[in-house]
Amino acid sequence: MLGVSAMGRLVSVLLSFCLISGQVVDFSEKGQLLELKKSILDPHNMLSSWKSTNPYHCAWFGVTCNARGRVSELRISGGNFAHSGSCLSEKHSDLSLHGFGIVRNCSSLRKGEFLGGKLSNLIGKFSELRVLSLPFNQIRGELPTEIWGLKNLELIDLEGNSMTANLSMINFRNLKNLQVLNLGFNRLFGEIPNSLSECTNLSILSLAGNRIGGSVPDFLGNFVKLKVINLSLNRFTGSLGDKFWSNCDVLEHVDFSGNILNGQIPNSLGNCSNLRTMLLFSNRFSGVLPFELGNLRVLEVLDVSRNSLAGAIPTSIGNCLKLSVLVLSSDFNDGHKYGLIKDGNSFVSSLPLQITMLPNLKLIWAPNSNLDSEFPRKWGDCQTLRMVNLAGNHLKGNISGVFENCPNLHFLNISSNRISGVLDEKLHVPCMTLFDISRNLMFGSIPEFKIPPCSRLNFSRQLDQVTIYLSYFAHKTRVNGHLSLSRFLPAMIHDFSDNNFTGSIPLLPMIAKVGSHYKTGEKIDYAFLAGGNRLSGTLFHGNQSRNCNDLNGFFLNVSTNILSGEISPNIGVNWKCLKFLDASKNQISGPIPKSLASLRNLTVLLLNNNELSGEIPSGFFTSKSPVKFNFSFNNLSGSIKNERDAVNCKRIIGNPLLHRCQFVRLSSAPPEEPLPVSIDLLNSTVSSDSNGGKKGANAFELILIIVPSIIIISLAALVIVYLYRRRRKPTPMVAGISPRRPTHPSPRPHGQQEPLVVFKEIGVRLTLDTVVQATGNFTSRNCIGSGGFGSTYRAEISPGTIVAVKRLTVEMCQGVPQFNAEIQSLGRIRHPNLITLIGYYASTSEMFLIYNYLPGGNLEKFILETRASVSGLKVLHKIALDVANALYFLHDQCNPRILHRDVKPSNILLDENFNAYLSDFGLARLLNDFETHVTTDVAGTFGYVAPEYALTCRASEKADVYSYGVMLLELISDKRALDKSFSSQENGYTIVTWALMLHQEGRPEEVFTAGLWEAGPEDVLRELLRLGLLCTADSVTRRPNMRQVVRKLKQILPAAASDC
């Protein structure tokens, strides 16, 4: 046995060895950290404490050790987080909704500081590592495989770097303790591997913002501890199975947005009783919203926009009493940034009362959703409501008494509906950053709204999901919300345009109240838009004669009204904040105030088509003037002292007494034609010439023009115009006509007829008498067609100028004011495959529309008289694509979206080159509600009407798709929708059931004429047949939308599509 002294020496040796060993271990991990640093770039010196002279590595920046002195945590967050949704920036300038469930406070991060380089495989040496957190840096290269061997890892957060890896090849089986896996916004690809199913302790999973594909695996439903799953902005395909939602009791946040998921939203998601956020936007989900959504009693945010959903909005959503944000569709135009699809949701019926009465509702977003009902009048106690967007639907009724008790409502967009009535002065308009009721049927005066106790939009730095969504939408609506002012981004926009408002402009009271609302030390830019009404009175006089010192900038559009009198000469003194003024197409007289030219902030001034007189202030022609102006078509006189280039002449044409510029390009701009300038063209030059469809004067004519005698030049110019018109040949009025917005008629004496309103100049003056005479007083010999809307007549206004006049049945139409409001929105629509609406006339006894005339007849005549085999596949494909493009434009790009309701061959016109033009679009909106919903010959034609429309009398985009499919089957088969040859068949066959039978029996060749099938190619013809049958599917959800139809047609015959 050892003595006590010997035993003591042995213990001392062992203790020394342990201490030495401990020092060796410490030195080993310290050295590994220093080696790890060598592969990392540190431009901001974040790792300055990582050096050999600093002995205690557990105190180094970002390093944490456990009780045994081993490295257990590496936490180094960079400041490269602007693109990620996991951070909430202080000013919300780069907000994103992605990374939604993993919101963190980034205020502690070092903004602009980050690490770069690569992550060394030495990371695998830290065997006791529990936390690896390096988000928002710029680390690149391959993700080290050694990470997946660190069996103690509980948290991996590498979001916001540029690391690459094939996710399919990663083996997660060793990570049994993993609770958080965040690899979002890197460069991962592949699919989710089965090995991830071993990580059953996961509570947060984020793979957002990568290039991961494949299906969403069912085994994720086995993660009973999972609270957050974010797979947004990837390439996941397939449907979401019921298994995924089988064990979702603790699931709180789901984000599958920005993928290619399809199928129906599963009913089983109703099992997720603790779900607070569900983001499914920007996928290809179809079908109806499940009724089981009502089981999600704590749901706060629901976004299903940018899908292909249809059907009724379930009333059960009213059970979600915590719901604050509901997004059913989206009108933001930034989807291309992530390759997201445009919104295709098209719901039926109304917005349920159970939803508008939700007690916590803050934001509801459903623009262009095909809602068709009375405007919702009950919105709970309205105290929480912040943002409402129901623009571009078919809502009617009035809003008086609806939002007056909503003190926190800062955004209200109900434009492009059919809302009528007057505005209540109690409405909190001065409090709203955006108030848009444009393109409706409102009337009465624009009130001087009372000053309410306004609350301010204050998102502070709260990180809850609802606040982030409100912040995001508030920012996006300012950036993308108003196309006409997108160049300027005013902080506040109030839009009353394109209604039937009368009376004077309540300008200054509105400005004073807006200014009093924003007492924060910062002056704002404010836009007041009221063009396209019947406002009268003078401009900048009376209650408008004060100043706008409370604003930084003021934008005013009062074009296309009946303003008169002179512009106040003090405008340049009192309105120094003026940045934009469009008062064109009024009856303003007197001189242009000289002080306007001295306004330093003024960038756009449109005064064309008025009755201004006198000389143009010379200040507008100096090189220092920043103003883009248009003074054309007035009574201005004098001469231009400082001659600049000819572009200025285009801004002042149509002033007969103005020297030098009165004869510029007379042949391309007749005196009655205004310069086509609108607020929507401000991103290009205001003075751009959009004519170009006619040739200019020849050399001889130009010699005459420069003769220094005003009388001789004027006579010569008149002769030139006269001869030019006389020698014109009859041509279809399809292109080359410059757009002009309609001018509202001035008040007429009692008994005098209202004038004919012209949208497009055609080179000759159109009046009621000339049009009626050209039709032979609507005699049958000039009738070229008739239908449910009325009869169409050929009218030769003058030699070589032919138009088509559609005489409407007055008894079926709305009253004249409503008719005027509706038709003016149609008059602004322009597309290469839509028939051009030139003008209209409307009175209580007579209503007719004037269109461009096409000599090629209609498609019905083409099908009857020209065999498909003779015309050839390329021509048939071109016609089909032209019509599809027209419907796609009406459904997806018009604001508001337009349903045709009567697509059929007789409403498709052709020119001599087989270009197809869709006619009668939007006419259903002109009819009385009774006629629209009850009369089948008005709202559709038997054989072309979709099954669901025939049963419910509710139109939708998919009903137009069905009618298009019938037309396509007719086009390729030379048969009518209800062809006589079907009478020998049983069960009353139509072309749809007949073609479907032949397709199912494997006899597709019998659908086509023999010559067409033999000419082939057969695979292209089969695809056309499949497309026609898909468009005419009984199930609404199975039918494609017109965007998908256009894409498919271009894929079927790409060479032909590129020629079109």
Question: Does pLDDT of 422 surpass 80?
Answer: yes
900 pLDDT tier (thresholds 50, 70, 90)? confident
Q: How many whole angstroms separate alpha carbon 497 and alpha carbon 557?
A: 9
Taking only the tens place, the pLDDT of each residue in 852-894 is 888 888 888 888 877 655 678 889 999 999 999 999 989 887 7
CATH topology (fold) of 21-238: 3.80.10
Q: How many whole angstroms separate alpha carbon 609 and alpha carbon 755?
A: 17
Which entry of 902, 920, 960, 974 is annotated as an active-site residue? 902
CB atoms within 10 A of CB 740: 21
Q: Roughly what angle, to the nearest 10 degrees, separates helices 957-973 and 1042-1052?
A: 30
CB atoms within 10 A of CB 871: 18
CATH topology (fold) of 261-274+283-443+461-481: 3.80.10
Question: Does pLDDT of 228 surpass 80?
Answer: yes
Q: How many whole angstroms separate alpha carbon 497 and alpha carbon 436?
A: 9
Give the rounded percent of residues in the chain with a pLDDT score beyond 70.
73
CB 363 within 8 A of CB 325: yes
Q: Which amino acid is at 978?
A: L
Residue 193 tokens, joined = 């591997």
| Residue range 536-547: mean pLDDT, rounded | 69
Q: Is there a binding annotation on residue 362?
A: no
Taking only the tens place, the pLDDT of each residue in 636-684 is 988 775 544 444 667 888 888 877 554 333 333 333 333 333 333 333 3
Q: Which of 27-36, 193-202, 691-700 has the highest mean pLDDT?
A: 193-202
DSSP 891: I
Of 464, 481, 480, 467, whose CA–CA distance to 411 is shortest?
481
Question: Does pLDDT of 901 surpass 90?
Answer: no
CB 131 within 8 A of CB 154: yes
Superfamily of domain 859-1059: Transferase(Phosphotransferase) domain 1 (1.10.510.10)
Put residue 660 in one of left, alpha, beta given phi > 0 → left and psi -120 to 50 → alpha.
left
Question: Does pLDDT of 98 surpass 70?
Answer: no
Residue 319 tokens, joined = 């059970």
Catalytic status, residue 979: no
pLDDT value of residue 79: 76
Cα–Cα distance list, 407 to 365, 383, 411 (Å): 19, 6, 11
What CATH number is given for 483-493+513-691 in this structure?
3.80.10
pLDDT value of residue 750: 38
CATH topology (fold) of 757-852: Phosphorylase Kinase; domain 1 (3.30.200)
Q: Distance between terminal CA atoms of the chain? A: 105
Spell out the residues 6+ positions from residue 108 whose beta carbon is closer than 8 angstroms to its own. none
Alpha helices (H) along 67-199 = none
pTM above 0.85, yes or no: no
Q: How many whole angstroms separate alpha carbon 846 and alpha carbon 755?
A: 12
697 pLDDT tier (thresholds 50, 70, 90)? very low
Q: Domain residues of the chain, as ranges? A: 21-238, 261-274+283-443+461-481, 483-493+513-691, 697-727, 757-852, 859-1059
Q: How many whole angstroms separate alpha carbon 352 and alpha carbon 911?
A: 46
| Residue range 65-75: mean pLDDT, rounded | 95
938 pLDDT tier (thresholds 50, 70, 90)? very low
Q: Which of the pair, 822 or 373, is modelled with greater confidence?
A: 373
Put residue 926 in one of left, alpha, beta given phi > 0 → left and psi -120 to 50 → alpha.
alpha
Q: 859-1059: same fold as 261-274+283-443+461-481?
A: no
pLDDT value of residue 471: 81
Taking each continuous run of H as one helix and of E as one strand, the counts in the chain are 21, 50
CB 462 within 8 A of CB 510: no
Q: List, in sequence order, every residue forming a beta bridge with 346; answer none if it has no partner.
A: 310
Residue 109 tokens, joined = 């991060």
